[in-house]
Amino acid sequence: MKKPSRENRKQTGCSCWGDCTCSEKAKGPEPWYSFRNCVTHISIIIISVLMARFWLHVIYPSSFVALAGKDPLDAPVWHEVPCSNDYEEEVFLECKPKRCGRAVMDNLVSRDDAEHLLRLAKRGLSHGGSNGGASILDLHSGALSMGDKFVNIFKIAETDDSLFTEEDFRIYRRVKDQIRQAVADKFDVPVDKLHLTKPTFFSRMDTKKAQTKHDEYWHVHVDKETYGSFHYTSLLYLTTYKNDFQGGRFVFADKDYNRTVEPRVGRVSFFTSGSENPHFVERLREGVRYAITVSFTCDPAKAIADPKIK
C-alpha cells in the first residue's frame, strides 16, 4: 500500500488525541500514520500509570489497616516483626532487642494521670510554640519551641511560680516508670538495664503550615537512625483521634500495609527503634494533637535523669 502524502493526511482531518476512528468520518486515504501514533501514545500512558501505581505501592503501600483503632482495647495488641541487623554489633547483650515488634496498651496509664499531663503540656507550651505545625516541650533539657528556635522553659518558670508543681513531676516520673516496666516485660529486658534517654518530650501538632524541616513530621523515618541512642521508643497519647483532631494517626510503614495506631487519651504504644519499624505521623487536617515521646536506651552513657523543678 502506498504511503499517503502529508497533504492527503491533512485532508482527512484526523487528530490522534481527538478521534482514533476518524477514518470512518473523513474521505480520502486511510490515516494509518495517525492511528498508529494514537495507539502508541495511549499504550505509553497506560503503561506509565500502571508502573507509577506499582512503584508507589512498593514504596508507600496505599492500603491502611488499623493495628489499634480508636475504640478501647479489650487486651494489649502485639505485632511482631523480624528484627533488622541494626543491633548486631552492639554489646548490650542483656538489653538489646532479641525480638522486635510493636505493642499498644490502653490500661497501663490511668486517665487521670494522662489528663494531668495534658494540662501540664498545655501550660508549658502556652509560653511558646513554633511558627510551623509541630512544637515540643522537653522537661529534661528545658527546651521549648519558640518561633523558629528554642528557649529554656525553666527561665520562664523563674518568673512564674505556678508554671510547674512537684505534683507535675511526680506524676511524670510515675508514668515514665510504668511505661519502662511495660517495655522491659514485653521485650524480656531487665528493667535496670533500660535507661531513659534523650530526646524525651511533649509534642503538640496542629494544622499550621510547616516552616522548617522539624515541622514536617509526616515523613517516614527510623528512630535509631534519627536519634542514635534509641533502642525502644514509646508514646503516650494525650488526645483522641476524631474527637480532638482529624488525621494525625501514627503509621508503621510496612512493606505490605500501612499499619495505624489511632491515638486516644491514655493509650501507650511502644516498639523497637530500629529499621524494622519505619514510621510517620499522618498529616493533621483539623484540631490539635498532644502526645509524649518517652525514649529508652541500653547504653548507660546515654542515660538522662528524671526531670525536676529547677
Give catalytic residues, as residue numbers.
289
Cα(290)–Cα(118) distance, rounded to whole angstroms? 7
Which among 87, 91, 95 has a CA at the least distance from the CA of 228? 87
Cα(136)–Cα(145) distance, rounded to whole angstroms? 6
Cα(13)–Cα(310) distance, rounded to whole angstroms? 83
Cα(34)–Cα(285) distance, rounded to whole angstroms? 47
CA distances from 284 to 28, 133, 203, 222, 264 (A): 60, 9, 13, 20, 15
The DSSP bridge partners found for residue 137 are 144, 202
Residue type, 4: P
Cα(28)–Cα(14) distance, rounded to whole angstroms? 11
Q: Is there a contact between 270 and 176 (Cβ–Cβ < 8 Å)?
A: no
Q: Give 278's contacts (C-beta < 8 A, 6+ positions apart).
A: 220, 221, 222, 252, 253, 254
Cα(157)–Cα(161) distance, rounded to whole angstroms? 6
Cα(125)–Cα(153) distance, rounded to whole angstroms? 9
Coil/strand/helix, residue 292:
strand
Which among 283, 268, 301, 298 has a CA at the least distance from the CA of 107? 268
Q: Nine-digit cell at 90?
A: 552492639
